[in-house]
Amino acid sequence: MLFTQSDYYEYEFLKLKATAKRFSDIEFEQCQFIECDFSRSQFSNCRFIDCEFINCNLSDLSWNYSSLEEVDFKGCKLNSIVWGQVNWPQLALTAPVSFKDCELSHGSFFELSLKTLTMKDCFAKDVDFRHANLAKSQFIGTDFRDSVFHQTNLSNANFVGATQFNIDIKNNDVSGAKFERFEALNLLAGLDIELVD
């Protein structure tokens, strides 16, 4: 049986296979999860503090009021996740999670406040970012094809190297945000203007 204890400190979990399982009321602190498969599983009221997920499959995972505090995801599959299910810290000044080289497609960050979020070199197709506060976030090198931004706070965000985004500058706050010159043409799509060379 997996996770027989109610708390784990400085554990390394390697190649665990736990698809469509349910875990509840467990605390993980400074733990590493490497090449684990938790797809379609559920973590209920669990707590992850200063943890790292590396090359894991977490697609269709339900967080079910679990809390994530300083958690890094690297090379993970995180498709079809509703991030609003996470019990986010109320007064966090910076995002308590970061993503690098991850797949985040078909997920939802609807209405979340995750300032200074890092989403670097990710594939984020068809993700719902409506009404989210993502000010000062780092979106370097991320592919946002078919993702939805509406009344999203993207002020001072860094989109250098990001591609395929469709951000209506009339309905989103992009003040102080950084874009590459060529990709910034995407921002003009909603203005009903004609661009000529």
The span from the CA of 95 to the CA of 117, in Å, is: 5
- CA separation for the pair 182, 110 (Å, rounded): 28
Q: What is the pTM of this model?
A: 0.93
* Nearest Cα residue to 152 out of 134, 177, 176: 134
- Name every residue whose Cβ is closer than 8 Å to that of residue 23 and which is 6 or more positions away in sequence: 2, 3, 41, 42, 43, 44, 46
pLDDT tens by residue, the chain, 197 residues: 688 999 999 999 999 999 999 999 999 999 999 999 999 999 999 999 999 999 999 999 999 999 999 999 999 999 999 999 999 987 677 889 999 999 999 999 999 999 999 999 999 999 999 999 999 999 999 999 999 999 999 999 999 999 999 999 899 999 999 998 878 777 776 677 676 77
Other Cβ atoms less than 10 A from the Cβ of 55: the count is 16
Structure tokens at 109: 């960050």
Q: Which of 161, 116, 122, 119 is nearest to 137 (CA)?
A: 116
Read off the tokens for 185. 């043409």
pLDDT digits (tens, 9 = 90+) for 143-171: 999 999 999 999 999 999 999 999 998 99
